[in-house]
Structure 1
Amino acid sequence: MGVLGCADIALRRMLPVLVEEPGTELVAVASRDTRKAAQTADRFGCDGTVGYDTLLRRDDIDAVYIPLPPALHHHWVTESMAAGKHVLCEKPLSTSYADTLDLMKRAHEHGLVLAENFMFLHHSQHAEIQRLLEDGAVGTVQVFSSSFGVPPLDPAGFRYRPELGGGALLDTGVYPLRAAQLYLGTELEVLGATLRIDERTGVDVAGTALLSAADGTAAHLAFGFDHAYRSHYALWGRAGRITVERAFTPPEHLRPPVLIHQQDRYTELTLTADHQVRGAVRAFTAAIRSGAEGPLHEETTLRQAQLVEEVRLRARRFPHQPGRA
């Protein structure tokens, strides 16, 4: 494995797993900054390379992980596949449906594995929720709701720069959208949305969306980075409600709490701890070793890109009011 960029998510979450996993060898990290490349390489015991192109020319690397800002994904995924590398790319895979579709086509043409890195999908708690639903814990689901919000981020970071693909929709909003697909399927329609725009930067810092599944089941979503932290989803059915309180970024040591409300009965389950980052890496490398070609989860990845565009299209925009009580 090689890594294009020394982003915070790479340093905190992915690189330690790439070093520890017996099925991967971290060969090199690349940065545009000589010192950052050297410091990261020294920390993780691999080579440090200045320039992403230099890393892609190495013949001792089979696959790359790309944690760059979203607006750079299309270019560097394209370059990586042209160099014959399988690609694990941070979400979102690109900033538009057209670019996502183009990357899918290129993955097929090159016969390479391409994966959008939604790590939360690889946590075992979601399979347990599916089992509870199949067992009738809440009956027929009528409403799916999900929120992912974090406190204000570094104002100098890419998330506040529209030319780099900043904004809350692409950063936190994609999680509830992907979770809605997980439980309601790909045939979702965006009925309405809101976005709050930071007038200084032009990026959206908060938003909501209302969607409907083909059978009329509703999805209520909220997201942003001007919030108290919340990472949650709930499924409300005829017989009760299941709530997952640490849905998207649970620490690997956490035993996730799940709440089940059934009429006058309240049950709190404590699920098994799991390492979703390790699960994402293992799924990616397993696909490569199995001889798989093309994009993983192609239908849902394409639909995800469409849903993001539909939210943008339908959203009413409001000015952001920082510090409002």
Structure 2
Amino acid sequence: MTFRWGILGAARIAAALIPAIREAGGEVVMLGAREPGSARVRAFAQEWQVPQVGSYQDVMDADLDAVYNPLPNHLHRPWSEAVMRAGKHVLTEKPLSLNAAEARQLEQTASQTGKVLQEAFAYRFAPQHLAVLEAVRGGELGEIRLYQGVLGFQMTNNGDFRWNPEMGGGALYDVGCYPVNLARLLLGEPQAVMAQARWTQSGSTQAGVDVALSGLLDYGQTGTGPLVSIDCGFDWSPQGMLGRCLVVGTRGHLELENAYLSNVATFRLTVNGEVRSVAPGNGYAEMVRHFQRVALGQESALYPPSDATGQAQVLDALLLSAREGRRVEL
């Protein structure tokens, strides 16, 4: 049986997921759009050979197994909920929701409907990040003492929704969520956070979005626990995406360049000064493959909805800390 997919919106990230769905053995059946008759949407569907185009509601009503939701952040919760209520599984682009309350609502809907809900952190399935997990979880680095995660770029499109606070804009939601997610994956849940940020409206942090944010995650083991920091931004150098991960332990350390990316041909993983060869792979396709197997009852979910709720709680705390200039307990 072919696993049938619908896509909500002609977002740029959908261009990465459509070939990944096909590589994973799925079929992209329908593209849903706010303006399905527009030339841009029709051209997107033609370019990616999506046979049907309709409205978002048409996708809800279609004979599909699952839907990928890469809409702007503020539309993740309502449309992902609608997908599950319509009897379909849903793969939702990060962040799953605008806050932990919305994430818990989606988690409850997934439980009520019995549908698979997954936050689309494809990097977790990429070979270089699996190698990082193996080195840390396998004890090769000893007890972890330091984690630094960095991801940012220079965003020059002033009309991008990521500048709009009402649409869930900001650097933390867009790029900072990745180093936060990997910290949680490697070390578990922090007990508290502290953060500072630059905002789009100086002197009115409640109204703007975070142009850049730096945060500390406190794991509560005074004197012995890991020191964890994350940095993200939209106003960094114009040389392209900067993503790095550094993990230091009592027996060794590792560094990963091109960190948090999901499908790159070139990366550099260095463990204790040794450059390790890890064959590149498509994290998007592996994520989709896992999602489909979970939906078909062939695998247990590696990242159930509760993981996305935990992620949202940390993001909430970081933004609150940056706005109010104080430590926030979790």
Alpha-carbon deviation of 1:227? 1.2
Bigger Cα displacement from structure 2, 163-172 vs 125-134: 125-134
Q: Within 5 A, what are the aligned runs for 1:110-149? A: 110-134=113-137, 136-149=139-152
Counterpart CA distance in 2 for 1:22 and 1:194 is 41
Change (3 A) 1:250 1:85: closer
What are the superposed Cα offsets for residues 237-265 of structure 1, whole Å, 9 maximum, x if unpaired? 223321111211153433x311233xxxx
Alpha-carbon deviation of 1:64? 0.3
Answer whether contact 1:138 1:241 (CA < 8 A) is retained.
yes
Counterpart CA distance in 1 for 2:41 and 2:302 is 29
Answer whether contact 1:107 1:293 (CA < 8 A) is retained.
no
| Structure 2 gap segments, 5+ residues each | 326-330
Counterpart CA distance in 1 for 2:75 and 2:135 is 40
Change (3 A) 1:175 1:135: closer
The match for 2:56 among 48, 52, 59 is 52
Please say if 1:219 is aligned against 2:228.
Answer: yes
Partner of 2:184: 181
Answer whether contact 1:236 1:242 (CA < 8 A) is retained.
yes
Change (3 A) 1:270 1:305: same
SS of match in other structure, 2:243: strand
| Structure 1 gap segments, 5+ residues each | 319-325
What are the superposed Cα offsets for residues 22-45 of structure 1, whole Å, 9 maximum, x if unpaired? 521110101122123322221222
Answer whether contact 1:114 1:295 (CA < 8 A) is retained.
no
Answer whether contact 2:24 2:286 (CA < 8 A) is retained.
no
Bigger Cα displacement from structure 2, 223-232 vs 158-167: 223-232
SS of match in other structure, 1:98: helix
The match for 2:285 among 278, 282, 306 is 278
Partner of 2:269: 258
Answer whether contact 1:209 1:311 (CA < 8 A) is retained.
yes
Bigger Cα displacement from structure 2, 116-125 vs 211-220: 211-220
Change (3 A) 1:22 1:239: closer
Counterpart CA distance in 2 for 1:158 and 1:259 is 36
Partner of 2:311: 304
Please say if 1:61 is aligned against 2:68.
Answer: no
Give the percent of matched residue pairs that are identical in Structure 1 and Structure 2. Answer: 30
Counterpart CA distance in 1 for 2:283 and 2:104 is 26
Partner of 2:247: 235
Cα RMSD for the two superposed structures: 2.1
Alpha-carbon deviation of 1:214? 4.2
Change (3 A) 1:295 1:279: closer
Please say if 1:29 is aligned against 2:31.
Answer: yes
What are the superposed Cα offsets for residues 205-236 of structure 1, whole Å, 9 maximum, x if unpaired? 10000012243322111001111331111111
Please say if 1:41 is aligned against 2:9.
Answer: no
Please say if 1:244 is aligned against 2:246.
Answer: no
Change (3 A) 1:51 1:310: same
Counterpart CA distance in 1 for 2:154 and 2:24 is 36
What are the superposed Cα offsets for residues 122-173 of structure 1, whole Å, 9 maximum, x if unpaired? 1122232233235544322111110011112411011011111111111011
* Amino acid of the structure 2 residue aligned with 1:243: E
Change (3 A) 1:100 1:267: same
* Amino acid of the structure 2 residue aligned with 1:211: L
- Aligned residue pairs: how many? 309
Partner of 2:160: 157
SS of match in other structure, 2:309: helix
* Amino acid of the structure 1 residue aligned with 2:281: D
Change (3 A) 1:134 1:175: closer
Partner of 1:208: 214
Change (3 A) 1:63 1:244: same
SS of match in other structure, 1:163: helix
How does the TM-score come out when normalised to structure 1? 0.89
Please say if 1:100 is aligned against 2:103.
Answer: yes
SS of match in other structure, 1:55: helix
Partner of 1:315: 322
Answer whether contact 1:40 1:48 (CA < 8 A) is retained.
no
* Amino acid of the structure 2 residue aligned with 1:163: E
Please say if 1:8 is aligned against 2:12.
Answer: yes
Change (3 A) 1:176 1:62: same
Change (3 A) 1:119 1:224: same
Counterpart CA distance in 1 for 2:301 and 2:197 is 34
How does the TM-score come out when normalised to structure 2? 0.87
